[in-house]
Structure 1
Amino acid sequence: MALTELDVPLRDGGSLHAFDTGADPSSPLTLVWHHGSPQTGAPLEPLLEAASARGIRLVSYGRPSYGGSTPRPGRDVASAAADVAAIADVLGLERFAVMGASGGGPHALACAALLPERVTGAVTLAGIAPRTTAYDWFAGMASPGGLQAAVEGRAARAAFAETEESDPSQFLPVDWAALDERWATLGADSARAGEAGPDGLIDDDVAFAAPWDFDLGSIGAPVLLVQGEGDRVVPAKHASWLLAHIPRASLWMRLDDGHVSVLDVVPDAMDWLLERS
């Protein structure tokens, strides 16, 4: 599958670095992928393989401060919709589905809510829910320090980043196995994103902890929520909360999966989107 890279100009003078597997008149679906936090936005090998096997056109991009995209401190989750619309306009995409993993989940939902005439369906895998007082948002997170700092604002989150260390307890043995084998490209890409600096992750966390500026209840497209029961990064309660607040949502709860191993559902989730395209 050929992969083209492009820089999409934005009205504010910035740009987004995007990837596209290319137009094919016979393609049954175009899918816009929203990466996790932190990653560069480059499509991962298992995604490319699953999309190619189904004839799906795959588009992905780096959010601001990731993978060569221009920084935009203070961005909110809702801004992803305008960013994706700009990419879609350049590529000539009228209708498409969205899929996001972990930190990409909220941004996929923003597109579903704010681009109702263009988004045919949405999938989130281990996606975080909006911060709410309806339950303990942090409960079950093995390492919530970054998000707790983000509640206090960008300066506090940036200060936390100066001493932040990776916590291996966030991942189950099945997650580590996935990172060693099927999803090794995810770990490598996350490391590349981290080497470029913490700004993308800082801005993601601040956006997650702040109001998302769109209404989940306004999403008219079908939404599939995929969640690992044992997830220690984004606990299962987040998925059940989203299920209760998105009108046409379905939930696939994976009893033996964690935060990374749940990505093995990607091919089945693509099939789910194809059935609704």
Structure 2
Amino acid sequence: MTERIALDLPDGRVLDVQVSGPEDGVPFVWHHGTPGCSYQSADKARKLAERGLRYVSYSRAGAAGSTRNKGRTVADIAADVEAIADHLGAEKILTGGGSGGGPHALATGAGLPDRVLAVLAVCCVKPFVGQEDSFLEGMGADNVEEFGLAVEGEEALLPFLQKDREGIIEADAAGVIKTLDSLLPEVDRKVLTAEVGEDVIRNLQGGVQELYGWLDDDLAFTKHWGFELSDIAVPTYLWQGSEDLMVPFHHGEWLAANIPGVVPHLEQGEGHLSIVVASFARMLDELVPHLPR
């Protein structure tokens, strides 16, 4: 059974949180992609429960059910995750994130080194600041336009997101593929039309119910993250697919060279969506040894 929590935060905001799995399990806090929401996929729920982990998801500030935190940085997520852990009475947690959730997972590890046992970052964008010249190389056309508008600011970006929302909010797999056409290699198209595609689409559709979570993610990615990668002192595991058109392979290569002590998995033939479907069990199996005995 999944418990849904409207979590009151110390600064007066509310965070939409979902929790499932064994009550005595160490929480695995998952940071959704951009856009995304607290929706829990059946595949992740099953694999986490099999390993005795408690599945904790949430909608980032500004996404459906969570109060906006205008001007937030990536680093600000650590305080929200700390509030989740406090509410659950969890002294220690694991954390992971995919796509736009990747930087937030890294920020959680950097900001909560005494609570985070290990970090998983999947298809994670690299920092924009300091990497402007190469950041967009290899991205699909839609992402190039989206990040270009994000650099210009909220007023420039919001109409673009509203247009894409129309192609996602009530679409089936074919409609989502059409909207995201320039961002989907064949290996990811197959994921969207497979059984697990429904979970991916429901997460996307929940993520565009309200646009400020998506908007503020993009704005946060194009400024300083609020922490340095050198601040990460907990075990970190990085996964990236060579066919990814949302977050190009070179982002993973750069992060692999710049996160202290990271264990990289630079997978040939995998895309942005397919890598999680193919390898989530392997990802978790790397984290489990960090659990307290």
Q: Which residue of 2 aligns with 1:18?
A: 17
1:208 correspondence with 2:221: yes
1:271 correspondence with 2:268: no
1:1-277 aligned at under 5 Å gives the runs 2-21=1-20, 24-25=23-24, 27=25, 29-134=26-131, 135-142=133-140, 143=142, 144-164=144-164, 166-181=179-194, 182-194=196-208, 196-264=209-277, 265-277=279-291
Output the TM-score relative to the length of structure 1. Answer: 0.94
Q: Distance in 1 between matches of 2:270 and 2:5?
A: 35
CA gap of 1:57–1:162, structure 2 versus 1, over 3 A, is closer
Q: Is residue 227–residue 254 contact of structure 1 (8 Å, CA) maintained in 2?
A: yes
Q: Distance in 2 between matches of 1:197 and 1:6?
A: 18
2:81 match: secondary structure: helix
Q: Is residue 46–residue 183 contact of structure 1 (8 Å, CA) maintained in 2?
A: no
Q: Distance in 1 between matches of 2:117 and 2:124?
A: 19
Q: Is residue 7–residue 17 contact of structure 1 (8 Å, CA) maintained in 2?
A: yes
Q: Distance in 2 between matches of 1:30 and 1:271?
A: 15
- Computed over aligned residues only, the root mean square deviation of the Cα atoms, in angstroms, reads 1.5
Quote how far apart the aligned CAs of 1:89 are.
0.6
Q: Give unpaired runs (5+ residues) of structure 2.
A: 168-178
Quote how far apart the aligned CAs of 1:254 are.
1.4
Deviations 1:65-115 (A, max 9, x none): 223111222111111100000111111011111110001000000000010
Q: Give unpaired runs (5+ residues) of structure 1.
A: none
Q: Distance in 2 between matches of 1:160 and 1:4?
A: 34
Q: Distance in 2 between matches of 1:24 and 1:187?
A: 28
Q: Is residue 19–residue 61 contact of structure 1 (8 Å, CA) maintained in 2?
A: yes
CA gap of 1:162–1:191, structure 2 versus 1, over 3 A, is closer
CA gap of 1:183–1:224, structure 2 versus 1, over 3 A, is farther
Q: Is residue 116–residue 220 contact of structure 1 (8 Å, CA) maintained in 2?
A: yes
Bigger drift between 173-182 and 137-146 goes to 173-182
Quote how far apart the aligned CAs of 1:155 are.
2.2
Q: Is residue 39–residue 67 contact of structure 1 (8 Å, CA) maintained in 2?
A: no
Bigger drift between 101-110 and 259-268 goes to 259-268
Quote how far apart the aligned CAs of 1:161 are.
2.6
Quote how far apart the aligned CAs of 1:248 are.
1.4
Q: Is residue 41–residue 66 contact of structure 1 (8 Å, CA) maintained in 2?
A: no
- Equivalences, count: 273
Quote how far apart the aligned CAs of 1:39 are.
1.4
Q: Distance in 1 between matches of 2:87 and 2:190?
A: 39
Output the TM-score relative to the length of structure 2. Answer: 0.89
AA in 2 matched with 1:261: S
Quote how far apart the aligned CAs of 1:251 are.
1.0
AA in 2 matched with 1:232: L
